[in-house]
Structure 1
Amino acid sequence: MAFLSVRDLKVHFPTVDGIVKATDGLSFDLEKGKTLGIVGESGSGKSVSSSAILGLHRKTSAMVSGEILLDGTDLLKLSDEQMRRRRGKDVAMIFQDPLSAMHPYYTVGNQVAEAYRVHHNVSKKVAKARAVEMLDRVGIPQPDRRVDDYPHQFSGGMRQRAMIAMGLINNPSLLIADEPTTALDVTVQAQILDLLQDLQKEFESAVIIITHDLGVIAEMADDVLVMYAGRAVEYGSGNEILTHPEMPYTWGLLSSVPDVTGDTEARLIPIPGNPPSLLNPPSGCAFHPRCAHRDKVPGDLCVTTLPELAPGTRTETHLKRCHLANPDVVYEQEILPEIAPELVEEKQA
């Protein structure tokens, strides 16, 4: 059994207008020491599903069902107190916006040390020393002095490092990083990613990284989960997903990435339309209103029938949710010449 095994996870939010199905039947596995990248547009259910792993939907109106097995224990069946003891110790999260995630009235050191004291019966002095040690480990200069600064006195990159220190201070076996490089310049992004990889090797943590940046996925992820409208639409190894994607939505994400080595006058190829409402999602395949390839599927199958997440054409472990019979052929003949013409030229040569 995988270290983390999520099975048929559903997170639904009742509203006056109906049920918002933020996550609807999500399943995936993650081994210890490995990294799972979760990608998709805003509103696809990435952060909601990860928050469910931490039990952050407890005592809210959210209706959560399914299984979240962490090292064999179903987190959804734990009491609030049992979950509180695991949160931050066995499973931790680096939140998307460290400025809003950290309390402005308390020093950075106080907040990092608190995360340690919650799970260890130690004095404030010992906890502060541990906080200084972790701030030093994540590359904060002069940590013994900066430990007494407030969040607003840190730069964006330093706040992100402090959030990483808080997440790793208890050596968690599972770390969830929600957009850890958002709003950071490329130099700081590279430093943050290198730091996460180094610390993962040291602690042998399983890591879930949620991001819109496919470059981050290419660098860090062993496996990739592509989400759309609360469901997994493609799932497999990072190499397979990025080099031989078989779902039109994944093609759209790859086509939307600018090629820094290509024609500077070339226009991006965006995905037409907008993400669907999770209150009233489209029938059948949720992506069909925006899909340019639905005419290749016979009849109204895309509109009437939700495709299963089934093995693709290349490997049994590469799963895709699509009715296209030969997605690999379509990708090679139509998509690849648009997003990577140099690869097509190499093959032809």
Structure 2
Amino acid sequence: MSSSTPTLAQGVGTGAGASGTPFLSVRDLKVHFPTPDGVVKATDGLSFGLERGRTLGIVGESGSGKSVSSSTILGLHRGSRAMVSGEILLDGTDLLSLSDEEMRLRRGREVSMIFQDPLSAMHPYYTVGNQIAEAYRVHNDVNRKQARARAIEMLDRVGIPQPDRRVDDYPHQYSGGMRQRAMIAMGLINDPGLLIADEPTTALDVTVQAQILDLLQDLQKEFNSAIVIITHDLGVVAEMADEVLVMYAGRCVEYGPTKQILTNPEMPYTWGLLSSVPDVTGDTDARLVPIPGNPPSLLNPPTGCAFHPRCTYRDKVPGSLCTTDLPELTPAKSGGFHVRRCHLPDPAAVYAEEVVPEMQADMTGEPIEETEK
């Protein structure tokens, strides 16, 4: 992990290192999809940044805008009806200002993505080796033999056994873990500076998950890549990420160093995510505490704080701020570049005095008195 860390003074969620200029800088990104029923605001004013050699974990429920924001970085919404605005600066170049051809030349070489489902992401009619070699030939002046040799080399580096033989197999002949490794090989074959991993451990058993995460960390050290990892698994975040971005209803609701987010969160939605995670050291009969309600419709999101209909702590906020005013990202009590979007006057105190005792009671399986918050 890099020793350089961003500060709030350099901008909320910029991820800028000592140079003050992050390798990846997303500024006020809005991705809206017009539909017959109205405009779906999949991402609404998102800003974050990331330096090379560091990992950003993006977490949140399905429909919070995680994958949409990352696929926009790759320019995958070009040619669609999506309305995209803001800036996506990669090494100083605004990707949104590039032509389709210029973006195509950068996609795969400078920024690459590991998709959530490798079986559907890879073409079933072509061998794994052909698909990896094609990704290399698009960006390099090499012949088929050279590209095949490079594909074998990458399969070997990601741990595929007998790569010189398995290079001619089709995706369905690979196990789930091997397909994920092949996708990583395809994503890294051109040594990109930015790698986006969308749920890279989904549907894999825990042993293979650990191997995939170790592989990503080893390759990051080798290539000094910046990694954005999208996941629902807070265990993956704790293992991989230097910084965490919590998304809800298309916006950032909390951002900061991983340790601070996981130990001193200051946004009720983050508290809910942490309370929903089972504790392997706790009582096996202990209950999980789900977040009440459902994620909001991005077609017609709630007014004010989008989380207020599900928040059990909104009565601690004076007046009707939660329902009328969108909270700004403000510095958290823990300091540094930890910021949160919440109207609670002192969320750190509420977390320590109410949330933590409830979580501890749930982990031991002891009943707690239901109170009206």
CA distance in structure 2 between the aligned counterparts of 1:72 and 1:203, rounded to whole angstroms:
19
TM-score (norm 2): 0.91
Shift of 1:95: 0.2
SS at match of 2:279: coil
Aligned to 1:347: none
The question of 1:29 aligning with 2:46 is answered no
What is the identity, as a one-letter code, of the residue corresponding to 1:133?
Answer: E
CA distance in structure 2 between the aligned counterparts of 1:167 and 1:5, rounded to whole angstroms:
21
Question: Which of the numbers 38, 60, 67 marks the counterpart of 1:47?
Answer: 67
Deviation larger for 67-76 or 308-317: 308-317
The question of 1:282 aligning with 2:302 is answered yes
Cα RMSD, aligned residues only: 1.2
SS at match of 1:76: helix
CA distance in structure 1 between the aligned counterparts of 2:362 and 2:33, rounded to whole angstroms:
46
SS at match of 2:348: helix
SS at match of 1:68: strand
Aligned to 2:177: 157
Shift of 1:122: 0.6
CA distance in structure 2 between the aligned counterparts of 1:189 and 1:106, rounded to whole angstroms:
26
User: Contact 2:286–2:362 (CA<8 Å) still a contact in 1?
Assistant: no
CA distance in structure 1 between the aligned counterparts of 2:355 and 2:123, rounded to whole angstroms:
46
Aligned to 1:172: 192
For each residue in 1:153-198, what CA deviation from the matched residue of structure 2 results, as whole angstroms up to 9, or x when unmatched?
A: 0000000000000000000000000000000000000000000000
Alignment of 1:129-148 (within 5 A): 129-148=149-168
Aligned to 2:316: 296
Aligned to 1:346: none
Question: Which of the numbers 203, 225, 228 marks the counterpart of 2:245?
Answer: 225
For each residue in 1:271-302, what CA deviation from the matched residue of structure 2 results, as whole angstroms up to 9, or x when unmatched?
A: 00000000000000000000000000011100
TM-score (norm 1): 0.97
Alignment of 1:204-223 (within 5 A): 204-223=224-243
For each residue in 1:29-70, what CA deviation from the matched residue of structure 2 results, as whole angstroms up to 9, or x when unmatched?
A: 101100000000000000000001000010001000000000
Question: Which of the numbers 243, 268, 279 marks the counterpart of 2:263?
Answer: 243
For each residue in 1:204-234, what CA deviation from the matched residue of structure 2 results, as whole angstroms up to 9, or x when unmatched?
A: 0000000000000001100000000000000
Aligned to 2:90: 70
SS at match of 1:125: helix
CA distance in structure 1 between the aligned counterparts of 2:32 and 2:63, rounded to whole angstroms:
13
CA distance in structure 1 between the aligned counterparts of 2:42 and 2:270, rounded to whole angstroms:
20
CA distance in structure 2 between the aligned counterparts of 1:235 and 1:154, rounded to whole angstroms:
37
Task: For structure 2, list consecutive stretches of 5 or more residues without a partner in the other structure.
Answer: 1-20, 364-373
Aligned to 1:88: 108
What is the identity, as a one-letter code, of the residue corresponding to 1:128?
Answer: R
What is the identity, as a one-letter code, of the residue corresponding to 1:72?
Answer: G
User: Contact 2:272–2:291 (CA<8 Å) still a contact in 1?
Assistant: yes
The question of 1:334 aligning with 2:354 is answered yes
For each residue in 1:66-115, what CA deviation from the matched residue of structure 2 results, as whole angstroms up to 9, or x when unmatched?
A: 00000100000011111000000000000000000000000000000000
How many pairs are equivalent? 344
For each residue in 1:246-283, what CA deviation from the matched residue of structure 2 results, as whole angstroms up to 9, or x when unmatched?
A: 00000000000001100111100000000000000000
CA distance in structure 2 between the aligned counterparts of 1:204 and 1:89, rounded to whole angstroms:
14
